[in-house]
Amino acid sequence: MKPGAGYETMDDEGVLIGFYGDDFSGTTATAETLTQSGVPTVIFTNPPSPSYLKRHFPRVRAVGISGTARTLPTDVMKQALTPVFLVMKSYRAPIYLYKVCSTFDSSARVGNIGKAIELGIEIFSPEFVPVLAAAPKLGRHTVFGNHFAAVGGGETFRLDRHPSMSKHPVTPMQEADLRRHLAKQTELISGVINILDINAGPAMLNSQIDKFVSAGVPIIFFDCITDNDLNTICGTIFCRTSKIKPLFFVGSQELGYGLAAACNEAGLLPERDKMRLPDKVGTDRGPLLVLSGSCATVTGEQIRWARKNGFVDVSIHPQDLLDSDKKNSVKQKIVARALGALANGHSVILHTAIGPQDGRIKAMKEMTVKLSLTDTEANETLGNELGDMARDIVGNSQVKRLVIAGGDTAGRIQQSLQIEALQVSKPIGIAAPLCYVFSNKPEFNGLEMAFKGGQIGSTDYFYQVQCARTAGFEELSLGEL
């Protein structure tokens, strides 16, 4: 069967951008960029059909699907992504985006971006696949094909020398040249359009793209340092799209800014359809619950700051959650301590590590080996157990706001909370917004959640989330289940 055959299709008016996020925190960050740009955006945990969108979310112009491809073994990626891509294709949108982390962490074994590109070419049949990993607002830049990333808001490192990403426990980045890195994941060849050609403007960009397309090069990387570079690239590429050859883009969450700007420039988003988030509104939501499965340096600094400033922190030893004899009693103690602190008005952080040097990381690896588990199986189990604790705490307290720290953790926890969809309610710094939860479970419907990547956010991020004031769910909701 031809890809897409037998699926529903949308009318010409409707979805402008369909995107898949390879982890949960990055998906919400993409929704944030689009929402801030005025594009009505909702994220779904399962791809909705066009008819479902028309009935339940008729105002939505950007549809996101949150996934876990960043942590999936390569041999299951095609099976996991094919049905999602086929439903996305049925939206008949001019733009499709496969959102990857702006540190591009992936490997031939896990989170294989090359495999996703191969599938995207098969299903969407684009003229070529542009790849832009940079996120200038976050301090992630690509220069002459090599990628750089800042630590928090501080020093910038070449990716293979980055203190966290070069030592990532699952996908350590040991190559800064993105073409060389991707070449380990696919046999498809790639080219790069460098910053000098980008600075020369759209005519030069198109000329360079034409050369690669004529030579049969299917993947083109783009250097990017500034927001202006990003807008120039997105605008130029968008002008090449059509319903016959839609755009299949691969890159960071900040592509949302550039792609939204291109849609606005083309007159595809009238003022009457634009999303507006109210500024200073809302009421206090009470104490905050944080669940952190991140071992990143930035998250570790955030936990330390919060602990010194009134948050109650509860250590979780992840190896105990892999032990079938211990886990139930351990979970009961953790939940009881969290509920007690919340009842006394304290915000609470549950954490499995504080920074990359935490001894619990080594203990988790040793238990994984002892139980003959793969890293994927161990992380799946850990995420499920954290999700169970989150469900028990939220369901038995007055918590109205929850943060999940760690992009690899979030996708698994959301399943326990039976989240069906998410809508941005308020940006918190960059790339980690608060979102309203759509759930068929009354105790979770309307809950506010933030999904924060490990390297994202200022030192006082958790406090900012606790203090944020937002409008009511019913006031801003773009639809209903």
At residue 397's C-alpha, the angle toward residues 391 and 398, to 5°, is: 115
**Chain length of the chain:** 481
Percent of the residues in the chain that have a pLDDT greater than 90, as a whole number: 79
Are 119 and 84 within 8 A, CB to CB?
no
Domains of the chain: 17-273 (3.40.50.10840), 289-476 (3.40.980.20)
Using the structure block, give the residue that is written with the tokens 């397309």.
213
- pLDDT tens for the chain, 481 residues: list them: 333 333 444 444 689 999 999 988 899 999 999 999 999 999 999 999 999 999 999 999 999 999 989 989 999 999 999 999 999 999 999 999 999 999 999 999 999 999 999 999 999 999 999 999 999 999 999 999 999 999 877 899 999 999 888 988 778 899 999 999 999 999 999 999 999 999 999 999 999 999 999 999 999 999 999 999 999 999 999 998 876 789 999 999 999 999 999 999 999 999 989 998 887 677 778 899 999 999 988 999 999 999 999 999 999 999 999 999 999 999 999 999 999 999 999 999 999 999 989 999 999 999 999 999 988 889 889 988 999 999 999 999 999 999 999 866 676 777 788 899 999 999 998 899 999 999 988 888 999 999 998 888 999 999 999 999 898 898 899 999 9
What is the C-alpha separation between 469 and 428, in angstroms, rounded? Answer: 11
Q: Which residues, in sequence order, are CB contacts of 205 under 8 Å at separation 6+?
A: 193, 197, 198, 232, 233, 236
What six digits make up the tokens of 327?
């886990």
What six digits make up the tokens of 86?
């086929």
Query: pLDDT digits over 214-239, tens only?
Result: 999 999 999 999 999 999 999 999 99
Closest to 263 in 3D by CA, of 69, 54, 95: 95
HSE of 96, CA atoms in CB hemisphere, 13 A: 31
Q: Is 3 exposed, middle or buried (0-12, 13-18, 19+ CB in 10 A)?
A: middle
Are 465 and 429 within 8 A, CB to CB?
no
What is the C-alpha separation between 365 and 313, in angstroms, rounded? Answer: 23
What is the C-alpha separation between 275 and 36, in angstroms, rounded? Answer: 8
Query: pLDDT digits over 423-461, tens only?
Result: 999 999 889 999 999 998 888 899 999 999 888 899 999
What is the C-alpha separation between 439 and 461, in angstroms, rounded? Answer: 26
- In the prediction, which pLDDT does 369 show? 95
Query: pLDDT digits over 125-143, tens only?
Result: 999 999 999 999 999 999 9
Helix axes 24-36, 407-416, angle to 10 degrees: 90
Are 18 and 91 within 8 A, CB to CB?
yes
